[in-house]
Amino acid sequence: MRKDELLKKYPIGSRVKLLKMDDVQAPPIGTKGTVVGVDDIGSILVSWDNGSSLNVVDGVDKVKKIDVIKTICYGQEKLFDSKREALDFYFEAASSSEGAERERYENIIHQINAGKTYCLDTEY
């Protein structure tokens, strides 16, 4: 695949999960990482969550793009690799709070349940 096609499929900042890598120093299968670029020979540059920085060779190695949920609550941005992970976090936060704070968490829960991938604790 050409560089521009790879960047369209795996834009900088997107999250990926490793499915296959043919390298003795490869991160474990299932490791997640963030795409930091694509080089001229068609390798996807990934900053793996375990600290590794081995590139993904298109056509040899295999990754899956992860659809992340991004939330902003009290001005703090959080990224979640799944809807379940985000809901678990905000259900826990809501259960241990009350009043306006709880309403903020519940607002995010409603947005996640509505299928949004970018959720704010206040409405704009």
For the stretch 50-107, pLDDT in tens is: 999 999 999 999 999 998 999 999 999 999 989 999 999 999 999 999 999 999 999 9
Superfamily of 3-66 according to CATH: SH3 Domains (2.30.30.40)
Number of CB atoms found within 10 A of residue 61's CB: 19
pLDDT score of 123 more than 70: no
For the whole prediction, is pTM greater than 0.75? no
Q: Span 28-55, mean pLDDT?
A: 94
Tell me what percent of the residues of the chain surpass a pLDDT of 70.
98
Q: What does the DSSP assignment read for 33-83? A: EEEEEE-TTSEEEEEETTS--PPEEBTTBEEEEE--EEEEETTEEEEESSH
Q: Span 32-48, mean pLDDT?
A: 94
Distance CA 14, CA 16 (A): 7
What is the residue type of 4? D
Longest dimension (CA), the chain: 55
Question: In this structure, are residues 79 and 89 in contact, taking their beta carbons and an 8 Å threshold?
Answer: no
Q: Span 28-41, mean pLDDT?
A: 94
Distance CA 71, CA 118 (A): 6
pLDDT of residue 113: 95
Distance CA 111, CA 21 (A): 36
Range(s) for CATH 2.30.30.40 in the chain? 3-66
Distance CA 20, CA 117 (A): 27
pLDDT score of 119 more than 90: yes
